[in-house]
């Protein structure tokens, strides 16, 4: 694996998924391989056993190393989500270097000031996203509103140590839901400005809210497709793997089969009695989907109302991604509950075999890694240019 290769690890409730990829000069992500392993020690946004988690990450990384026929090198980024993150908005105010003109360096200083305003010894800042800036008038200060995501330093340190104990040296830990939303930002159909992006997986719904094209709110709720699987396990007296199969089978069927007296053959190896009425499955699955979507909506409703009253803006769309977002029922229910355009999105720019909503987080992590690498290269180059310039002056070339 060469230095430009990025290993993106997405820690999910169901699986640890890993993609090895590289962002090409034209912006496309070239994938070299993928791997996955069942998750242990983490569920619904909580780390319960850090060593078990590190071990399952190691297994998933071993899979990708074999699949992509490469050794672990390059940079490794780990995405995780859930309640370990805190998100808040903070305003940074600075005087622009040249009054009346706002440069990237001014915005960067304002972001640092915003972080400083909310700095906390126990938390490490992972993402600082400038949400809005008030362009400075001549003589006036520059004000930048930022969205800041941080995580417990102790947890990050423990995770990093457990991973390095398993031979994995991470270059960075990121909030999975945020990098997924940011990675897809310029690829969303309709190029919306005010929208809600939800990565809904097995155990967490990571919500990112955008206004004027910039992230201004994020949250993670412990809701996902695992609840539907558990309901099916109970309602049909089947094991987890069998219930997962039935859920995916149901997802491919039309809701128009309802009230038609259709009986589905839901047998798996070892069962013969699972001839299930479609209406029975429909009732189990749709009532849980309705509950999950309504809980997400209830969480967002005050924010949507405030945005309307403060800025006179309504949200245009809801974009769903993540494995549970692949269920047509979830998109249909979200459209009904939110009463706005709803669409499921996936990383379409990847090779066709990877185009699935469950891969959006890994895609976002690779793009994040490529962005960090590009900015490090730019810093190295500018440091080199300063050095060359100084050397030229000294040598009077
Ligand atoms: N085609 C499908 N139809 C129905 N459900 C699906 C489909 N594909 C995936 N899922 C469901 O999506 C969930 C897994 O999604 P995903 O891989 O995004 O979750 P995760 O990242 O492991 O969990 P987390 O919620 O912690 O991020 C499972 O509940 C799985 O059953
Ligand atoms: Mg996930």
Ligand nearest to the CA of residue 42, numbered in listed order = 1
What would the mean pLDDT of 51-61 be, rounded to a whole number?
A: 97
Closest ligand (CA of 329): 1
Q: What is the DSSP letter of 43?
A: E
What pLDDT does 22 receive? 83
- pLDDT bucket at 389, cuts 50 / 70 / 90: low
Report the distance separating Cα 175 and Cα 262, nearest Å: 43
DSSP result, 258-310: TTTT-EEE---TT-S--EEEHHHHHHHHHHHHHHHHHHHHHHHHHHHHHHHHH
Using the mean position of ligand 2's atoms as its centre, give its distance from the Cα of residue 395 in Å.
56
Q: Which region among 26-30, 47-51, 107-111, 183-187 has the lowest average model confidence (pLDDT)?
A: 26-30
Q: Check residue 30 and give its pLDDT.
A: 86
What pLDDT, in 10s, does the model give residues 179-190?
999 999 999 999
Which pair of structure tokens corresponds to residue 157?
């340190």
Question: For position 137, what pLDDT does the model report?
Answer: 72
Check whether 213 has a pLDDT greater than 50: yes
> What is the average pLDDT value for the chain, to the nearest integer?
91
- Residue 1: is its pLDDT beyond 50? no
Q: What is the pLDDT of residues 266-318, one digit of tens each?
A: 999 889 999 999 999 999 999 999 999 999 999 999 999 998 888 888 999 99
Mean pLDDT computed over 241-250? 97
Which position has the token pair 């769903």?
320
Q: Does 125 have pLDDT greater than 90?
A: yes
Q: How many residues does the chain have?
A: 397
* Ligand 1 atom closest to 10 (CA): 21
Q: Which atom of ligand 1 is nearest to the CA of 176?
A: 27
Confidence tier at 392 by pLDDT (50, 70, 90): low
How much distance in Å is there from the Cα of 121 to the middle of ligand 1? 35
On whether the CB atoms of residues 111 and 105 are closer than 8 A, the answer is: no
Is the pLDDT confidence value at 3 over 60?
no
The arithmetic mean of pLDDT across residues 154-172, rounded, is 95
- Residue nearest (by alpha carbon) to ligand 1 atom 2: 248
State the pLDDT confidence band at 8, using cuts at 50, 70 and 90. Answer: very high
Checking if the pLDDT of 379 tops 80, the result is: no
**For the CA of 321, the nearest ligand:** 1
In the structure, what pLDDT confidence band is assigned to residue 67 with cuts at 50, 70 and 90?
Answer: confident
Is pLDDT above 60 for 212?
A: yes
Cα separation, 246 vs 262, in Å, equals 15
Candidates 79, 176, 201: which one to mutate for ligand 1, based on the most atoms within 8 Å of Cβ? 201
Closest residue by Cα to atom 20, ligand 1, is 12
- Residue 139's pLDDT band (boundaries 50, 70, 90)? confident
Q: Which ligand is nearest to the CA of 201?
A: 1
d(CA 296, CA 78): 25
Please state, in angstroms and rounded to a whole number, the distance separating the CA atoms of residues 118 and 320: 31
If you measure from the C-alpha of residue 14 to the centroid of ligand 2, how many angstroms do you get, rounded to a whole number? 8
In this model, does residue 363 exceed pLDDT 90?
Answer: yes
Q: Is 115 exposed, middle or buried (0-12, 13-18, 19+ CB in 10 A)?
A: middle
User: In ligand 1, which atom is closest to the CA atom of 356?
Assistant: 8
Q: Which of 126, 129, 174, 180 is nearest to 364 (CA)?
A: 180
What is the best residue among 44, 176, 224 to mutate for testing ligand 1's pocket, by most ligand atoms within 8 Å of CB?
224
Cβ–Cβ < 8 Å for 209, 71: no
Tell me: pLDDT of 230 over 60: yes
The set of residues, in sequence order, having a beta carbon less than 8 Å from that of 63 and lying 6+ positions away, is 18, 34, 35, 36, 37
Which residues 6+ apart lie within 8 Å of 70 measured at CB?
1, 5, 20, 32, 33
Residue nearest ligand 1's atom 21 by CA: 12
Provide mean pLDDT across the span 72-95: 88
Asked if residue 256 has pLDDT above 60, the reply is yes
- Between CA 148 and CA 122 the distance in angstroms is 15
- Calpha distance 376→329 (Å, rounded): 43
Q: Which residues does ligand 1 sit against, CB inside 6 Å?
A: 12-15, 81, 201-204, 224-226, 229, 244, 247-248, 251, 322-324, 326-327, 358
């Amino acid at each position: 694996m060469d230095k430009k290769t990025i290993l993106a690890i997405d820690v999910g409730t169901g699986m640890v998924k890993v993609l090895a990829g590289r962002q090409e000069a034209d912006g496309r992500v070239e994938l070299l391989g993928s791997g996955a392993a069942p998750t242990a020690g983490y569920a619904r946004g909580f780390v319960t056993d850090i060593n078990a988690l590190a071990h399952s990450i190691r297994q998933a990384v071993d899979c990708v190393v074999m699949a992509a026929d490469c050794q672990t090198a390059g940079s490794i980024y780990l995405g995780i989500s859930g309640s370990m993150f805190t998100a808040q908005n903070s305003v940074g105010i600075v005087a622009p270097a040249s009054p009346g003109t706002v440069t990237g360096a001014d915005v960067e200083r304002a972001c640092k000031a915003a972080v400083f305003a909310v700095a906390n010894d126990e938390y490490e800042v992972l993402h600082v996203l400038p949400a809005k800036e008030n362009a400075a008038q001549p003589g006036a200060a520059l004000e930048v509103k930022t969205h800041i995501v941080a995580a417990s330093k102790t947890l990050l340190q423990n995770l990093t140590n457990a991973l390095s104990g398993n031979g994995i040296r991470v270059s960075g830990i990121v909030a999975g839901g945020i990098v997924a939303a940011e990675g897809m930002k310029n690829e969303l159909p309709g190029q919306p400005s005010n929208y809600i992006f939800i990565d809904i997986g097995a155990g967490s719904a990571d919500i990112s809210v955008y206004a004027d094209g910039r992230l201004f709110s994020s949250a993670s709720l412990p809701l996902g497709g695992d609840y539907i699987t558990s309901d099916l396990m109970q309602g049909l007296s089947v094991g987890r793997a069998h219930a997962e199969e039935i859920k995916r089978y149901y997802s491919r069927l039309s809701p128009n089969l309802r009230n038609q007296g259709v009986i589905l053959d839901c047998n798996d190896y070892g069962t013969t009695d699972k001839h299930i009425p479609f209406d029975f499955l429909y009732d189990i699955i749709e009532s849980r989907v309705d509950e999950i979507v309504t809980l997400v909506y209830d969480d967002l409703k005050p924010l949507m109302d405030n945005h309307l009253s403060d800025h006179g803006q309504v949200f245009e769309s809801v974009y769903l991604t993540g494995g549970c977002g692949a269920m047509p029922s979830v998109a249909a229910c979200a459209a009904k509950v939110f009463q706005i355009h709803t669409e499921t999105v996936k990383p379409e720019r990847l090779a066709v075999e990877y185009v699935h909503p469950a891969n959006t987080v890994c895609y976002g992590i690779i793009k994040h890694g490529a962005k960090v690498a590009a900015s490090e290269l730019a810093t190295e180059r500018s440091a080199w240019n300063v050095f060359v310039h100084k050397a030229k002056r000294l040598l009077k070339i």
